[in-house]
Structure 1
Amino acid sequence: MATRDAEATKARILAAAVAEFAERGLAGGRVDRIAKAASSNVRMIYAYFGDKSGLFDAALATALRRLAHDAPPRPDDLTGWAGDVFDHHRRHPDVLRLSLWAQLERPAATAEPLDTYADKVELIRRDTPAPFSPVDLLVIVYAIAQAWFVSPTGLTALEGAPDDEERIAAHRAAVVAAVERILHR
């Protein structure tokens, strides 16, 4: 008889939950689809995460921690960090989509991974230029880095195909330049 690896099962469930909730949100996400995608079963999901909301919160925390790990703030290069955040959202659109669903359907869940935000604030605290607070600066960098991905396609297509590599590179450069100008006005 094969032994069960609880951590591997949880990881598969969380990966499937991130994908499902990023695509359909909390209300549209289905636990049975998550179980099937994770090669698990609904009973295990409820055993590990309590209920669908608990699974959503865990999926969101997982996605946000992935962003924090993959694109940690660089206090000595906040403009470069803005580019890193842009790149992460391009590679992992599910993280941003899941965050947006959370803000719409379960705003309290977006406060869950406070440790990841608190760590970022502490990293940049000493290098934050006036008149910004570290929180202001984080919000500004995130907002600018995410703008391309949350803007209407009709707008982003005005200067070329939104998925054109050259266009994406130009937008990334604009993100970095915008943060640079804000920081060093």
Structure 2
Amino acid sequence: MGYDAEATRRRIFQAAADEFAAHGLAGARIERIAAAARANKQAIYLYFGNKEKLFGAVVGAKVDEVCETGALDPNDVAETVGQLFDWYQEHPELIRLLLWEALENGPGPVQGEPERRDAYRGHIRGWLEAGYAADAPDDRARVRAAQDWMFTLLGLIAWNFAVPQLCRLVLDEDDEKAALARRRAAVVETVRALAAAR
């Protein structure tokens, strides 16, 4: 049986996602990624260039995954917010990766920023094509309204997973699953009410 480069690449990618989610970019170790992936360090550098590029590739792919899995549908926003909430619950590594990226990168540009920005612009175009903010005074105001709305929706979802200790403390719930079920219902109802008011 010969060397399967694609399988090695996938193992490296998964091991890197786990390592970066746990330790961030600065704390991640190429040696641990290589060991977990059953690969050598040279393969990591060959496929991804360096640790920073690997981190950027992991974050970009996870963002792409969530964007492809559950786009926010302007015609059924409350239901799709619930589906996106479920996705985040099943994939807690994305929030951790985004938090590490923010902590370690500061206000500067992130790896793959132009492509990630373009993906979000595509979602905004979809909202505008669906007639969102049609009563805004001009196209720029419509775009800004759609951007603000999308960012608000993402925040309503993501905050539940970014600070699990606050979820537990504020909700005074010993059972994490029960707390998240309450939060999911509250987020969906909030979005439903906000969407109706718009």
What is the TM-score with the length of structure 1 in the denominator?
A: 0.88
1:143 counterpart (152, 155, 174): 155
Give the structure 1 partner of residue 128 of structure 2: 125
- Does structure 2 retain, via aligned residues, the 8 Å contact 1:25–1:102? yes
User: Does 1:113 pair with 2:136?
Assistant: no
One-letter identity of the residue aligned with 1:120: H
- Does structure 1 retain, via aligned residues, the 8 Å contact 2:71–2:80? yes
Percent identical residues: 32
- Does structure 2 retain, via aligned residues, the 8 Å contact 1:73–1:123? no
Measure how far apart 1:155 and its partner are: 5.1
CA RMSD after TM alignment: 2.0
Measure how far apart 1:19 and its partner are: 0.9
One-letter identity of the residue aligned with 2:151: V
- Does structure 1 retain, via aligned residues, the 8 Å contact 2:78–2:191? yes
4+ residue runs over 3 A deviation: 129-132
Higher Rg of the two aligned structures: 2
- Does structure 2 retain, via aligned residues, the 8 Å contact 1:10–1:48? yes
Q: Alignment length, in residue pairs?
A: 183
Give the structure 1 partner of residue 173 of structure 2: 160
- Does structure 2 retain, via aligned residues, the 8 Å contact 1:153–1:162? no
SS in 2 for 1:113: helix
- Does structure 1 retain, via aligned residues, the 8 Å contact 2:12–2:33? yes
Measure how far apart 1:7 and its partner are: 2.2
Give the structure 2 partner of residue 103 of structure 1: 102
Give the structure 2 partner of residue 33 of structure 1: 32
Residue ranges of structure 2 left out of the alignment (5+ in a row)? 137-143
User: For the residues of structure 2 that align with 1:133 and 1:90, how far apart are their CA atoms?
Assistant: 27
- Does structure 1 retain, via aligned residues, the 8 Å contact 2:30–2:51? yes
SS in 1 for 2:110: helix
Deviations 1:9-50 (A, max 9, x none): 222111111111111100001111111111111100001111
User: For the residues of structure 2 that align with 1:4 and 1:43, how far apart are their CA atoms?
Assistant: 15
Which is further off, 59-68 or 110-119?
110-119
> CA, structure 1 residues 155+80, in 2 after alignment: closer, same or farther (shift >3 Å)?
closer
